Homo-oligomer: A and B are copies of this chain.
Amino acid sequence: MPPRQNRPTINQVAAAAGVTKSSVSRAFTRPEMLSEETVRKIFAAAEELGYVPNHTARALSTGRHGNIALIVPDVANPFFPPLIRAAQAEADRSDYCVFLGNSDENPKQEDKLIGRFGGQVEGFVLVSSRLSDAQIIEHAGRAPLVLINRDVPGIPRVLIDSATGVAQAVAHLAELGHRKLVYVGGPHGSWSNKQRRSAVRRAARKLGLEVVVISNEFPAFEFGRKVTPSVLATGATAAIAFDDLTAQGMLAELAEQGVAVPDDFSVVGCDDVLGAATFPALTTVSNRSVEAGRAALNLLMDMLQNQAIRDVRYVLDTSLVIRKTTGPAESALQ
């Protein structure tokens, strides 16, 4: 095993190049201050020794770490990975490293993570944060912070407006003749959930449909299955789920129970994370998480450059993607 952990320091390079460490430091940060020859000499010595500036030491004296933190409720929820990837790529373009945190839908955990990261990051992106407004405002006061899918006035935020798509979904179901539908909700603290729920209610009221709301905490396939009997028990003929995973779980349970989709019952998902991979292919609301990740990172980078914090509210709207899980109400269960 080769020797480990003894990277050369600025002092060794300085000695090798016959200059002081100030010059070495400048050669790497502001070479225009030095004569070309000195810079050349220093680079040669650095190369020779395999010198790489120590990130930590630099961060300590400059206060700039070149790191940001991205916190999501659940990495394994397919909504997030594309967003994470987009954010990551964007950070990379500015030579930033990304800490990833998984809050497990838990405000305590989220707070703990922010504390752990704080002090080694220049800024935060909180996705679908489960923290209270007050907590978010407090953290935003300590470090640049951008929200995704959380609407706190004064804090820069990127919102995927699923309300537009959800309203279209309700209209679509109304057109198909459905009169009563269930909204199968998501996590309590979720802004997206509130937004979707109220969009369903609003659209339904306008169109004269009846709505029943059923809640749950951890959006996932399994929950979709468990909740299905209560959904059917309402006597509704269609359901709009908080997300595709929940919808998928419902689809599986409906199939199990011999309820045909869309003939007997219509299902609409949200976020289009499964594409056309379910059977029947899921009617759902489109998702713009990649753009959201990118936009949030740009916003954050912007804040890090000119530390003026503008009250940005960047909204991405969505639309209904009609596939095969919605059909006429005539034939549906009554």
Question: Which residues of chain A have a CB within 8 Å of any CB of chain B?
Answer: 1-5, 7, 52, 54-57, 59-60, 63, 65, 67, 74-78, 80-82, 84-85, 88-89, 92, 95, 97-102, 104, 115-120, 138, 141-143, 221, 248, 252, 274-280, 309
Contacts and interface: CB of A to CB of B under 8 A. Distances in A.
Contact of A81 (B2, B78, B88, B120): B78
Contacts of A97: 99, 101, 116-117, 120
Nearest to A75: B85
B116 A95 contact: yes
Contacts of A88: 75, 100-102
A119 B7 contact: yes
A275 B274 CA distance: 12
A252 to B, nearest CB: 7
Nearest to A273: B78
Given A60-B57, A78-B78, A1 B99 contact: no
B75 A2 contact: no
One complex includes copies of this chain to the number of 2
Contacts of A101: 88, 97-98
Nearest to A6: B142
B76 A120 contact: no
Nearest to A279: B279
A213 B288 CA distance: 37
The 6 A-B pairs at the shortest CB distance, nearest first, are namely A279-B279, A2-B141, A100-B100, A55-B119, A75-B85, A76-B81
27 contacts: A2-B142, A3-B141, A4-B141, A4-B142, A4-B143, A5-B63, A5-B142, A5-B143, A7-B119, A52-B119, A56-B56, A56-B59, A60-B60, A75-B84, A76-B82, A77-B81, A78-B78, A88-B100, A88-B101, A89-B104, A97-B116, A99-B99, A100-B100, A274-B277, A277-B279, A278-B279, A279-B279
Given A60-B57, A277-B248, A278-B277, A100 B116 contact: no
